[in-house]
């Protein structure tokens, strides 16, 4: 049989179309995570000084004269006090947060869009604008769960203490202090504010970006309605700027609430009541210090101890001296011990004597002056 008989004739009049393969979802997700992380960290380096000023302005207590009169005044005072480096205080936590936020945001935005296409819009060429808003809001709410702990540490590091200290606490120190004070759930303080900001902000950000991009595509002669990447770079930058303005302007009140919730203990730790655990710590430490004081020529034994603003026990002291009020004398020694150890701000002091049953916690919030006189303890007179 001739070989020519086995040749199949091909009808050239019919075009052959290959099926369109779905994109590699794994690779697309990888790009979202990597590129989102890099973009987030790069943007954070540029915006962080402005974010520091924002948080410091937001966290000012309303019941006392404002420390900063505006953004420019905050910039001026911050640079005078700590230099330009002070505006970047605590940037390690938000750098990690920016990587987590952007990668999680874009990854979840793509996943939610894929779910909507498969369930609600299986035949549509493009998703309606309302679906894009929903995708942005849902991705923002998911991102808020991972972002709140990082935002908490960031805000605590950005707000300066009332008194200066030679040693500024780092991220790990703050993480340990938060866990000791509030437990694991304490890392999600301000979650409601973050949820509102990220949910509404996600809708505003992606809605602003997609809306401006659609406007440019409509009047761009060479771009197809579905090809967002065909837009010129400057138009994509304008769309991104519009998205950022929408995000920050529309939901700035929620961000203010979040920042105040997350820095409340820094501004007013000494004004709120002591927890049961802190009371027990104060009492036991003061009684233990009193028990160690012994002198055959003294009439009273006195013990005192102090706590930091985060509720951490610093130091105790025992004193026997009838020439001075025993409680005041013990407080001076306890505070002097704490200051010598490098501490500046205190939340409470407890005093126990032979004539008082148990310890007597006092809700004191004493700030040591920036330059105390040698041999004196300011705020105790």
If phi over 0 gives left and psi between -120 and 50 gives alpha, with beta otherwise, what is residue 189?
A: beta
Cα–chain-centroid distance for residue 148?
Answer: 6
The residue count of the chain comes to 381
Q: Which helix (H) or strand (E) holds 13?
A: none
DSSP H helical ranges for the chain: 25-58, 71-82, 92-119, 129-158, 171-182, 191-218, 233-250, 252-268, 276-291, 326-340
DSSP state of 345: B
Q: Would you say 274 and 283 are in contact if contact means Cβ atoms under 8 Å apart? A: no
Rounded to the nearest 5 degrees, what angle is found at the Cα of 208, between the Cα atoms of 213 and 26? 70
331 catalytic, yes or no?
Answer: yes
Out of 101, 198, 210, 331, the active site residue is 331
Alpha-carbon distance of 267 to 155, in angstroms, equals 12
What tokens does 320 get?
């026997």
Strand partners, 318: 303
Dihedral of CA atoms 279, 285, 289, 290 in degrees, nearest 10, equals 40
Residues 6 or more apart whose CB falls under 8 angstroms from that of 359 comprise 282, 283, 284, 285, 286, 287, 303, 350, 351, 352
Q: Would you say 329 and 321 are in contact if contact means Cβ atoms under 8 Å apart? A: yes
Query: Which residues are identified as catalytic?
Result: 331
């Amino acid at each position: 049989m001739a070989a020519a008989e086995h040749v199949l004739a091909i009808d050239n009049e019919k075009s052959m179309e290959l099926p369109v393969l779905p994109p590699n979802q794994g690779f697309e997700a990888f790009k979202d995570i990597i590129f989102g992380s890099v973009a987030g960290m790069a943007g954070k380096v540029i915006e962080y000084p402005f974010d520091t000023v924002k948080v410091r302005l937001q966290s000012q207590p309303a019941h006392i004269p404002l420390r900063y009169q505006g953004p420019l005044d905050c910039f001026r005072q911050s640079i005078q006090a700590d230099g330009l480096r002070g505006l970047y205080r605590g940037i390690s936590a938000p750098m990690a947060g920016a990587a987590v936020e952007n990668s999680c945001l874009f990854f979840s935005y793509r996943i939610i869009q894929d779910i909507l296409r498969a369930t609600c819009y299986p035949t549509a060429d493009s998703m309606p604008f309302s679906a894009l808003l929903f995708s942005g809001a849902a991705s923002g709410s998911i991102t808020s769960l991972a972002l709140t702990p990082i935002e908490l540490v960031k805000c605590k590091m950005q707000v300066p203490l009332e008194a200066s200290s030679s040693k500024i606490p780092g991220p790990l120190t703050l993480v340990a202090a938060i866990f000791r004070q509030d437990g694991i759930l304490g890392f999600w303080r301000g979650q409601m504010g973050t949820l509102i900001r990220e949910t509404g902000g996600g809708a505003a950000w992606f809605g602003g970006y997609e809306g401006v991009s659609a406007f440019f595509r409509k009047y761009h002669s060479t771009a197809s309605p579905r090809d967002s990447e065909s837009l010129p770079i400057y138009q994509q930058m304008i769309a991104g700027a519009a998205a950022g303005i929408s995000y920050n302007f529309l939901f700035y009140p929620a961000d203010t609430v979040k920042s105040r919730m997350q820095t409340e203990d820094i501004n007013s730790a000494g004004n709120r009541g002591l927890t049961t655990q802190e009371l027990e710590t104060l009492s036991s430490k003061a009684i233990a210090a009193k028990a160690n004081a012994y002198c055959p020529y003294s009439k009273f034994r006195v013990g005192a101890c102090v706590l930091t603003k985060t509720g951490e026990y610093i130091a105790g002291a025992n004193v026997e001296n009838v020439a001075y009020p025993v409680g005041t004398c013990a407080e001076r020694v306890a505070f002097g011990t704490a200051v010598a150890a490098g501490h500046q701000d205190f939340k409470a002091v407890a005093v126990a004597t032979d004539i008082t049953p148990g310890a007597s916690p006092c809700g004191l919030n004493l700030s040591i002056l920036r330059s105390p006189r040698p041999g004196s303890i300011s705020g105790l007179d």
